[in-house]
Structure 1
Amino acid sequence: MTITRTESEGHFVSRIVKVTPNMAESFLSGNLVNRRLDMGQVRSLTETILRGEWKLTHQGIAFDVAGALLDGQHRLRAIIEANTAVEMLVFNGLSKDVFPVLDTGRRRSAADTLSSTGEKYLHLLSSTIRHVTLFKTMPNNPWSGASAHVSNDRILSAYNKDKVRYGEAVAIGRELSKYLFASQTAAAVGYFVTTDVAPAADIDEWISGLKSGASLDSDDARLALREVPRETQKRGAKRRMGIRDQVAIYIKAWNAWVEPEKTGELRLRRLRKRENMPMPIEVKFER
């Protein structure tokens, strides 16, 4: 156990400790009163550690006066899963009476995390970044449930790496959703992932055609995308279309517009069982 600093206040002691997987196993053996494990939270913390994004904060682990673990089981389990030691605050000597008030505050949302960026439409921005991340990391798996959790740190990191394009995607998503069946998030994600691989495409032509629909040929993919029934993604619809399906349809239309000779008959419908997410066709500058 590496202790870098020790402070005391009243009857408890706080220390910065580099907690190893073996130590985490030992600490968890004293887990007598903790809540049930949320494996989605464990996976999220594990991925944060493996990506080297773990940060020392005031949130650590805590033991009562008898040595029983009161708080931190998810962090300890993540250390074991990642098989990596990390530094965290360790509190010893807390009263057993504090357990009911631990972690009862409102959990910080991704939008809260992005509030310092000065961006508008924070909920749409955070949702866009989350779903772009899911598209890049697990395109062929469901985008809901514990396995689809994306940490706030990861969302903020993605924003900082590509803030201009995310801001642009949000603006375009808000505008396109007025003319398409897709939600603002789905339109923003579709715009981001297609233009991400198509720096040489005429994006203005694509967008203007989607918005106006004027003078488009009957076989134009933009017209087909405009004509997808809006009711398919609304609450209460017989089979509501999720964001993953909406993004897939947007990409199918994009691919048919970029290379119509390769797409054959265009069918803009939700993904069938075991159908993979389509990947956007690249449009790059010739060297």
Structure 2
Amino acid sequence: MNTNSVRPTPNNGAAANTASVTLVTPDMAREMLKLNTQNRKLRQRAVADYARDMADGNWLMNGEAIKFAIDGTLLDGQHRLHAVIEADTAVLMLIVTGLAPITQETMDAGRRRTTGDALSLRGETNSVVLASILRRVWMWDQGDYKFAQHRQPTIAECTVLLAERPEIRRSAEIAGRVHSLFRYLPQSVVGTTHHLFSRIDAGQTVWFFTRVGDGAELPVGHPILTLRTRAMTERADRRHVPDFRYMAYLIRTWNAVRDGRELGRIVQAADAPMPMPK
């Protein structure tokens, strides 16, 4: 691509704004990035997130533009352009030129739309909890069992996961029901484990989370009573417990129930591997 094609022609010291929809190829992106002389530090995770959506065909042109100043300097869009190169695919983009350089100060100033926001716009109920469960299920399936957040799903990846596994909506609903009875476990963790356990034994999962919620008719030493006591104790002591540890508590409890054994205490060291549900 000729870099002059994104530079406006001066007109008495000024230039008119132009806007056009262009199929940006990796080679064109490389040429545009040569004009990236004044921008914020590149966030590699954002590039990787965008690139996955582009490579999977989930990238939609939403009106956000690649923006250039009057002198041709790239003002906004470096992450998207780097993602085009990483994905090695062509993407339709809106290109705007002829902007005053000072307008860069106001770009990306708004709050970024979250997955929960996107799901709410689609009419999903309990969208914030549903979004949290989708993120954790996606990360679990990627092998990130402790939710280290080195790689999180994009909005598109979450919506694709929901389309593939609509039963996760039920897991979000169950998480809300359990929370209304027993407020000592994070809803996102309850919903995530509900989905994972349902893959193993849907019938036993129903019984398991009913008892997690009400604790009814369980004998002394039952794993679910041990879980409930541990969760209440940590809340009373005002301890900060990361989500992965609550995940481990629930999985250890589930495994003990499946094995038909008592569980006197639940321990999960920070450096211990995550137990796998069975």
SS at match of 1:229: helix
Q: Deviations over 1:8-42 (max 9, x none)?
A: 9x812222222222322221121122222222222
* Equivalent position to 2:31, from 26, 29, 47: 26
Q: How does 1:70-219 map to 2 (within 5 A)?
A: 70-144=75-149, 147-163=150-166, 165-177=167-179, 178-179=181-182, 181-199=184-202, 201-219=203-221
Corresponding position: 1:250 with 2:250: yes
Letter aligned with residue 63 of structure 2: H
Deviation string, structure 1 residues 87-118 (Cα, Å, up to 9, x no partner): 21222222223212222222112121011333
Give the corresponding residue for 2:52.
47
Work out which of the residue numbers 270, 273, 276 in structure 1 matches 2:273. Answer: 276
Tell me the SS of whatever aligns to 2:200.
Answer: coil
List structure 1 runs of 4+ shifted beyond 6 angstroms.
Answer: none
Percent identity between the two aligned chains: 26
Q: CA deviation at 1:137?
A: 1.3
Any stretches of 5+ residues in structure 2 without a counterpart? Answer: 2-7, 9-14
- Paired with 1:25 and 1:50, the residues of 2 have a C-alpha distance of 17
- TM-score normalized with structure 1 length: 0.81
Flag the 1:225–1:207 CA change in 2: closer, same or farther, 3 A.
Answer: same
Rounded to whole Å, the distance in 2 between the matches of 1:50 and 1:211 is 42
Find the counterpart in structure 2 of residue 5 from structure 1: none
Q: How many angstroms apart in 1 are the aligned matches of 2:152 and 2:206?
A: 33
RMSD over aligned CA atoms reads: 2.7
Taking the aligned partners of 1:33 and 1:96, their CA distance within structure 2 comes to 10
Q: Secondary structure at the match of 1:88?
A: strand
Equivalent pair of 1:13/1:91 in contact (CA under 8 Å): yes
User: What one-letter code is carried by the residue in structure 1 that aligns with 2:178?
Assistant: L
1:56-84, Cα deviation, whole Å (9 max, x unpaired): 22123111121110110110111222233
Cα distance in structure 1, aligned partners of 2:129 and 2:237: 18
Equivalent pair of 2:175/2:190 in contact (CA under 8 Å): yes
Deviation track 1:213-239 (CA, whole Å, cap 9, x = no partner) reads: 2332334322222222335368952xx
After TM superposition, the score normalised by the length of structure 2 is 0.83
CA distance in 2, matches of 1:24, 1:234: 55
In 2, the alpha carbon distance for the partners of 1:49 and 1:182 equals 36
How far apart are 1:45 and its partner, in Å?
0.9
Which residues of structure 1 form unaligned runs of 5+? 2-7, 282-287
Q: Distance in 2 between matches of 1:12 and 1:103?
A: 19
Measured in 2, the distance between the counterparts of 1:214 and 1:235 equals 24
Q: CA deviation at 1:271?
A: 4.5
2:94 maps to a residue whose letter is L
The amino acid of 1:269's aligned partner reads V
Q: Distance in 1 between matches of 2:82 and 2:233?
A: 43
